Structure formats: structure tokens, C-alpha cells
Structure 1
């Protein structure tokens, strides 16, 4: 009787959970172990609605115990600290875990190298950051709010700009609903003249036009130098601000440094078109942790992580069975840039780019997607 494959998945986010689902769909008997600090899914796409009160912390944290039980998955509550034996042994704060195949889906880490970055809030760090924004906004009687993002200069794809447009437009919408928008100045800043270029030129034009329509000032095309209390400093001047929201570029997890995993110039894990980590047998990466071949606009988003997961799961099982690893993925960008009342749908593939104007229907579509997505884990 053939022994069931021991598969270890690191992480409990979109890519990791999609890998669990795909592996279990293809192999009912595999021994799957998931390693993450907590058996919880934090649904970060909806933290944009926390400042306005549309969502609360408890709405966005889903306990994964029931899902893991249904999937026949063992969860180990631990932090990963390293790998040995070419990935066959994972070192964690709860002990070592051996495997026949490994999937790394531990997400990315935000670069915090700009001097004074502690003076800015990094929204996508999690629910607590969004709650801090909520509380700061509630306490403000007026003033200037500066919102921006930047990329990893060594890995231009490693950027999460979409949510910053959502915080920008969402805060504008919120202040108007509260009847106090005239007491605030909103400023959007970015080192590029075309922020969000990977969304497509038409999308960038639409976003900048929407900022102009809403009376949002822009400070574009100037290299960022530092943050100071109440100030954003760039090569093109300073922005005085009472609240600064800033999303830096992304890099790999700190624990990668304790391994010999191959790294891209930007610090992510080098992977091929089959999501295999270069030079490491039966080791795969999905989602934000990886640097994959593809067009420069290939996104760091949940949808792309799920496409990686499907390919990685198929190739992993084929490799363990001695079959060729042939599953790949087609880069796709799919997002709804939400303003708190309307949403702009953006779809991009190697063949075309589709952008719809802001529609109230798309705001509700984003909320509907959230309910359907979380329903499979609740």
C-alpha cells in the first residue's frame, strides 16, 4: 500500500487556502499540514470599509478550524523560522515538520526603509491599521490627509497600489457623507507620473480624472526622501499633512534570510512558470512570496494567488507521482476599485484590458464577492 504524501503548506491566506482546496479536490488521501500563527483568515480586501464603519474587525476574521476539519487538514500554530534538507524539513517555533512536498504561501513584507516611516500608517498591514485610520479620522476636526504608495525599486511588480486608491476615494466619500469634506484637504502622492500604470493607461487616466473631479490634489513624479512628523518630503517639495497613509513596496519574508532559497533582485522567491522554486525539488511558491515570469503588469492580488495555487497543486501531485509538471497559469488582473459607494471594474489579460466607469452596481458586486468568498470557509 502506497503511503499518503505528506504536504506542508506555509501560510493561511488566499494562496495557501486555495492550495488546500485544490489539493484536496485532486487527492482525498494526502496528508496536508498548514503552518500559520493562527487558524484564521483575515480578509484584508475589505479593510477599506473599516474607517467608515461599513465593516468591523469581527466581520473580517474567519476561524478556519471548521474548514480544516472538513478538508482533513492538520494545523500547526507556529511561526516559520527556516528550512533544511532542501525543503524537506520546515523549522518552526513549534518544532520541525518533515514533508514530501512544500508550498510557500506566506505573503510579502512591506519595505520600511524610508526614514521616518513610523510617521505614516501602512493600511494593508492589517485590520489594526485600518482601525487606527478610523479612530484618527473620527478625532480630526479638519486638516490635510496625504495618501500615497510606492513600489520596490528592485521589483516593480511588488506593489499594492489598488487599496490606496480605495482608501483615498473612500475617505473622500465618507467625509462628504458626514458633511465635513470642506474642512479637509486630500493629497495623493506617488513617485511616478502615472500611478497604478499596471492597471493600464486608460485606468490611470480615469483615476486621475476622478481625483480632479473630487477636488483631490496630486503630487506626482517626485522621488520620496523621508517622512517627518506632519510632513511628507520628496525631491519635488514637501506635503504638510495631519494624517499620512502610505503603502511601501513589498519584499520577501524575513525568515527567507535564514535559508538558501533563491531570491529575485527584490527579495522574493524565484519561481518558474509552473510555480516551482528554482533548483528546489518538490518546492513551490504561490502568491505574494514569489517572483514569477510574466508581463510587467502581473499583479500581486488574491485572484493571481489563486491561479498560482491551482497550478502549484497540480504540478506538486504530478511530480510526486512521477508525471511531468505541465500546469501553468495565465496572468490576469481582476479588481474593483471601490469608493465606498461606486466601483470601477478593471480586467486585464495578455489579450486585452477592460475598464468600466464607476458604477454603484460594482460596489455591491464587491460586497457580494466578499460574502461568497468567505462563505466557503465559514
Structure 2
């Protein structure tokens, strides 16, 4: 039986492990934690809609269900020339057939320790919940949410969860009858955050911001974060009792230090079949990979899953286990999400032909909640996977 080592226990790595098993491979999944954190639904932990335990889904259960081996350890180095990886506890490992699904690191900002992120370490979602609860107990305050950019790779921006948590916090404060006691400001260094969704969606977002009395600080680079606010490049200041900030994605340090082929941002260069340039039988998927495509392209979970399914198929083709054509991820590039707002949602779609945001009052929120259950049940094989999801 052909063997494959997959590093990264996130959405991309889990999907790859499942589909490599379907193709008949012996699979070892290497993860630095014992659970997959379902980031798309983590937005509800800080506002107490769901618990941390609902979002942290045991990798042991998925591994047992699909028959792959799980190893919990941390990758500290990769050597493409020797086809080896080095683990924090397990030492040097040979990796003749490797899938890199380790996700991205984060861009560095001065004073970042004074912020919390809904897209950072899973534990930060609990710290955000505690911070919000203390602010509610105080009865008033200034709230600043934002996200950053990576000038070397605009596809590494992840602003959607910031908007979602912002809307959900607004909804919670409204339900408590204390929304008027809080100043809520969204900030970003680009002049039109969310522009990649398309002009119609951007216009609708602007209307929602005005209707809900959200302030904005757009178009100024972030100089540093302080304990009680954000300082911008022109030394103007945004005061804040709670700063939630999502740094743009950056390459993982051990990826940057490797001999892998990298783009200007340090992400791994791949072809349309997710094959790493010049390294036979090595693949990269998800946020670790450098995407090629239209200017509006974005790294999202559903694209990572498509890449994961494709590499399992392409590996089987490359090894002569099946005689079909290899599959490209590029024809599937789009922006697709249900942007939750606590009391509804907006369906966002952007591709080469259209860009839209469709309001889904009430039902949209429950559709996204349902997706969280669908993810867990489908990964366990209890229900079939819906094509395109």
C-alpha cells in the first residue's frame, strides 16, 4: 500500500487524510494539536452562542472513523532536497510522499500582544469571550475591530470573520439593550476593505454600516497597537477598550527557512495540480500554498478542501493507481461564504461572471449554524458530503 504523510490538522489536512484513504493510501496525519478547530463557526464563541467544545472537533475520532494514523507533534524544519521533515519531539523523518497543509503564519505588528484575534490561536476565542463579558459588566466602552493586509500576497487577507464577529457582538449588545453605550469602529489599512467581494456587495456593506451606526477608519497603515488603542501611520489614534485584530497571513517561519520554492510572501509555489515545483511527490494545499488566479482571489476553507481532494486524486494518478486526468484547483476559484450577523446572514459569491451579496434574514444565521453540524457529521461519514460544500 502506498504511504503518504500529511502535515497539518486543519480543514485542508483533515480533508486530504480522508480522501487519500478513499484512494487506497496508508495515511499518517501529523498535527500540532489533537483537534481540528472549525474556524468558520468560532465567531460564536466570544458572544456565547456556542461553546469552545463545539468548535474543537477531536482528530482521534476522525482518524478512527477513516482508518488513518494520527501523530501529535510540531514540525520545526523541512528539507526538500533530502525529502525530510524535523519534528519537535520525533526528530528527523523521511517523507518521500508529503502533503503540506500547515496553514499560514501571521504578519507581525508592533504591540500585537495588546490585541486578540478570532483567527489566531483557538484559545484566543475564549479570551475574547472573557474580555467581552467584562466590557458588558462595565456597561459601556469603545470597541475596535480590524484586519491587516500582506502587500506581497493580497490573497492572504482574512477579513470576513472580523466582520462576522463585529456584527454578532452588535446583535448581542442590542439584545441586552445596551448597544447605545458602546462606540463600535472597524479599521483596516486598505481604502475599501471587502472590495474583493465586488462593488454590489461592498455597497450593501456600506449601507449596513451606516444603518447600524458603525464608525470606520480605513486607508491608513497601522503603526502599532497599545493597551488602549491603535496608532496609525499619521500618528492619529483610535481609542479602544477591546481591540480584535486579524493579521494577514504570512508564511510559517519553518517554511520561510526551508529550501522549498517560495513566492515573495514565502508561500509555497505549486502548479495547478498542487504539485510543488521541482519536488516530486510533494504537494502543498490551503493557506500554505501560493495561489495563482484573478486579482480578487482569496484563501478560503472550501478552496482548501477542493485542493485536498484534488491532491489525493492526483497522487493516485501520478502513482499509476488510476488512469484518469489530473484535476486543477484553479477552475474552482471563487469567493463563497455565508456572512453571519447574529440575526441573519448575507450570502456572498464572487467569481469571474458575477459578484453578489444576498441578504438572508433570520434563516441565514441558522443555515450557517447547520453548516457547523454538517461539517462534523460529514467528516465522520454519518451523512454524505453535499457536492460543492
Could you say what secondary structure the match of 1:185 adopts? strand
1:25: which partner in 2? 22
Provide Cα deviations, 1:206-227, integer angstroms capped at 9, x if missing partner. Answer: 1121111101111111122111
Kept after mapping to 2: 8 A contact 1:187/1:218: yes
Tell me how far apart the structure 2 counterparts of residues 261 and 356 of structure 1 sit (CA, whole Å): 41
Q: List per-residue Cα deviations over 1:119-174 (Å, max 9, x = no partner).
A: 11122113321211111111122111011111111111101100010111111111
Check whether the contact 1:6–1:99 (CA below 8 A) recurs between aligned residues. Answer: no
Q: 1:349 aligns with which of 323, 344, 351?
A: 351
Structure 2 counterpart of 1:315: 314
Q: Counterparts of 2:266 and 2:79 in 1: how far apart (Å)?
A: 19
> In the alignment, which of 177, 180, 183 is matched to residue 182 of structure 1?
180
- More displaced, 96-105 or 146-155? 96-105
Give the distance between the partners of 1:37 and 1:231, measured in 2 at CA: 33
Shift of 1:7: 0.5
Q: Tell me whether 1:41 sits opposite 2:39 in the alignment.
A: no
Per the normalisation by structure 2, the TM-score is 0.91
In 2, the alpha carbon distance for the partners of 1:205 and 1:224 equals 25
Shift of 1:293: 1.1
C-alpha separation in 2, matches of 1:38 and 1:227? 29
What root-mean-square deviation, in Å, do the aligned CA atoms of Structure 1 and Structure 2 show?
1.7
What is the aligned residue count? 372
For the pair 1:102 / 2:98, whether they are aligned, the reply is yes
Alignment partner of 2:154: what SS?
A: coil
Single out whichever of 5-14 and 223-232 deviates more from structure 2: 223-232
**Aligned-residue offset at 1:365:** 0.6
Secondary structure at the counterpart of residue 357 of structure 1: strand
Point out where structure 1 has 5 or more consecutive residues left out of the alignment. Answer: none
Alignment partner of 1:111 is 2:107 = yes
* More deviation, 65-74/315-324: 315-324
Give the whole-Å Cα distance in 2 for the aligned partners of 1:245 and 1:356: 26
In the superposition, the TM-score normalised over structure 1's length comes to 0.94
CA distance in 1, matches of 2:114, 2:59: 34
TM-fit CA distance, 1:85: 5.6
Check whether the contact 1:344–1:355 (CA below 8 A) recurs between aligned residues: yes
Q: Pick one of 69, 73, 98 that aligns with 1:78.
A: 73
Runs of 4+, deviation exceeding 4 Å: 322-325
Provide the C-alpha distance between the structure 2 equivalents of 1:35 and 1:127, rounded to a whole number of angstroms: 18
* C-alpha distance in structure 2 between counterparts of 1:149 and 1:203, whole Å: 18
